[in-house]
Homo-oligomer: A and B are copies of this chain.
Amino acid sequence: MAYLKLDSSKLNRFVNSNEVPEMQALVNAANRELRDGTGAGNNYREWLHLPTNYDHQEFERIKKDAQQIQSDSDFLIVIGIGGSYLGAKMAVDFLHGDFDDLNSSNHQTRVIFAGNSLSSSYLHDLLELIDGHDFSINMVSKSGTTTEPSVAFRIFRKRLIKQYGAKEAVNRIYVTTDAKNGALRQEVNEKGYESFIIPNGIGGRYSVLTPVGLLPIAVSGGDIDQLMLGAHKAEDELDNPDLTQNNAYRYAALRNILYRKGYGVELLENYEPNMRMFAEWWKQLTGESEGKDHKGIFPASANLTTDLHSLGQYIQQGRRILMETVVKVNHPRHDVDIPHNDKNTDELQYLEGHTVDYVNTRAYEGVVKAHTDGGVPVMTVNIPDESAYTLGYLIYFFEVAIAISGYLNGVNPFNQPGVEEYKTNMFILLNKPGYTNK
């Protein structure tokens, strides 16, 4: 039986029983594009076998460096944007408690992300936060010239040198970049920074299981061995294009079926607040892979039950353009009993003897019924727990699903031709050499 269950049993009124089988031939074609490399973007498929084919020496070095950082730094400032930030942030949050950073009795190194915006206040506040503390930097960028991380790197490298001197600063800079090319690799060669490789055949949004994600996750205390093992399990289980066997492919087929019926916005949902960033990672994976040529499902998210009291009204009764995909944890990290009360003023007596998670799961079931009754198709990816193993599987699940989904919609799932346009405009406004207003 598959490690992760995809529950599509509530789609009956939205998808007829013939529709999934009738997608099989298209899914087979998409699978050949992906596996045989006959599809567009075929230079960016190295993530497919990454869980079984990665640099084990570098992997061990990441674990050793993580221990070093844990022992000599209160903060690790991870500088990166897009795929050089979202996967790591998502995983760190997923694998940790909701208040781990805030809890002063937790002496773990805090992993803080920077260079993922151009907010001057944010940079100022972060400089203030680390004042008087030991810190290290993990600079993550393929090219080394992306504006947001490069600006942040200048600022925090300057602080590092001021605090430790130029020589010791070198020992506190960890660079994740291209193996041979780019500004950062050049700087690594000149200065002798410790460095890790972003493989050429893996785009940013598919890079969480490379050193891009692995170093920050390891520093936060996440078990990266288990993470890779879970992804390995998914690689093994999810290579059969048969839609009766492959849950990731079935998810891809179903969301394409729904999209073609007019459900153009997909909400990724959770019932655990520490999974908020998982949806942000998923938004890049789906939006950047599929949103092109004026096509594609628009990715949005909701955190439940929280947002039932904000977006819930729209979902229940607004325009019928939404579909929902829930990632539901079967066994949360902790459970809490609902306490007894002498009086029943709050009308909760009927819940005494139950746990909070019992109520959370009944809420989930009630929501699925209410939304499907209201005309919103809902699918659920059931995950057993919030372990690193499960997360590894879940990452690979969505990665392979979205690659297939992109090919099903007739686009190149691995390029992002639209992300340069604002940069060009910005460079013209900033008078960057080589850019002039034509």
Write the residues of chain A forming the contact surface with B, with a CB cutoff of 8 angstroms. Answer: 81-83, 85-86, 97-105, 110, 112, 116-129, 131-132, 144-145, 147-148, 150-151, 153-155, 158, 183-184, 186-187, 204-205, 264-265, 271-274, 280, 283-284, 287-288, 290-296, 298-300, 303-322, 332-336, 338-339, 341, 343, 345-348, 350-351, 354-357, 359-360, 362-363, 365-367, 369-371, 373-374, 386, 416-419, 421-433
Q: Which of B119, B265, B314, B369 contacts A296 (CB 8 A)?
A: B314
Query: Nearest chain B CB to A129's CB is how many angstroms away?
Result: 4
A371 to chain B: closest residue by CB? B422
Contacts of A98 in B (CB 8 A): 119, 121-122, 125-126
Contacts of A362 in B (CB 8 A): 426, 429-430
Q: Is the CB of A422 within 8 A of B367?
A: yes
| Copies of this polypeptide in the complex | 2
Given the contacts A129-B99, A350-B430, A363-B118, A318 and B306 also touching, CB distance less than 8 Å: no
Contacts of A296 in B (CB 8 A): 314, 318-319
Q: Is the CB of A128 within 8 A of B284?
A: no
23 contacts between A and B (CB under 8 A): A97-B121, A98-B122, A100-B125, A118-B305, A120-B332, A123-B356, A124-B336, A144-B345, A153-B346, A155-B356, A184-B345, A186-B345, A264-B321, A287-B318, A291-B313, A291-B319, A292-B313, A292-B314, A296-B319, A299-B314, A359-B426, A363-B422, A366-B424
Contacts of A86 in B (CB 8 A): 310
When chains A and B are docked, how far (Å) is the Cα of A306 from the Cα of B83?
11
Q: Which of B154, B291, B421 contacts A370 (CB 8 A)?
A: B421
Q: Which 4 A-B pairs have the closest CB atoms?
A: A82-B309, A291-B314, A291-B318, A366-B425
Given the contacts A183-B347, A318-B295, A422-B367, A310 and B336 also touching, CB distance less than 8 Å: no
Contacts of A418 in B (CB 8 A): 312-313, 315-317, 374
Q: Is the CB of B119 within 8 A of A360?
A: yes
Contacts of A299 in B (CB 8 A): 311, 314
A367 to chain B: closest residue by CB? B422
Q: Is the CB of B287 within 8 A of A120?
A: no
Contacts of A416 in B (CB 8 A): 313
Query: Nearest chain B CB to A363's CB is how many angstroms away?
Result: 5
Q: Among A110, A317, A339, which residue has the most Cβ atoms of chain B within 10 A?
A: A317
Contacts of A81 in B (CB 8 A): 305-306, 309
Q: Is the CB of B147 within 8 A of A125?
A: no
Q: Is the CB of B334 within 8 A of A272?
A: no
Q: Is the CB of A310 within 8 A of B99?
A: no
Contacts of A292 in B (CB 8 A): 313-314, 317-318
Given the contacts A318-B292, A348-B154, A119 and B312 also touching, CB distance less than 8 Å: no
When chains A and B are docked, how far (Å) is the Cα of A148 from the Cα of B305?
8
Contacts of A284 in B (CB 8 A): 309-311
When chains A and B are docked, how far (Å) is the Cα of A118 from the Cα of B348?
14
Contacts of A117 in B (CB 8 A): 271-273, 303-306, 360
Q: Is the CB of A121 within 8 A of B272?
A: yes
When chains A and B are docked, how far (Å) is the Cα of A431 from the Cα of B430?
63
Q: Is the CB of A99 within 8 A of B118?
A: no
When chains A and B are docked, how far (Å) is the Cα of A381 from the Cα of B243?
48
When chains A and B are docked, how far (Å) is the Cα of A330 from the Cα of B423?
21
Given the contacts A295-B318, A333-B124, A425 and B367 also touching, CB distance less than 8 Å: yes
Q: Which of B121, B129, B345 contacts A103 (CB 8 A)?
A: B129
A312 to chain B: closest residue by CB? B419
When chains A and B are docked, how far (Å) is the Cα of A104 from the Cα of B103?
10
A103 to chain B: closest residue by CB? B129
A100 to chain B: closest residue by CB? B125
Q: Is the CB of B365 within 8 A of A122?
A: no
When chains A and B are docked, how far (Å) is the Cα of A75 from the Cα of B413?
47
Q: Is the CB of B374 within 8 A of A121?
A: no
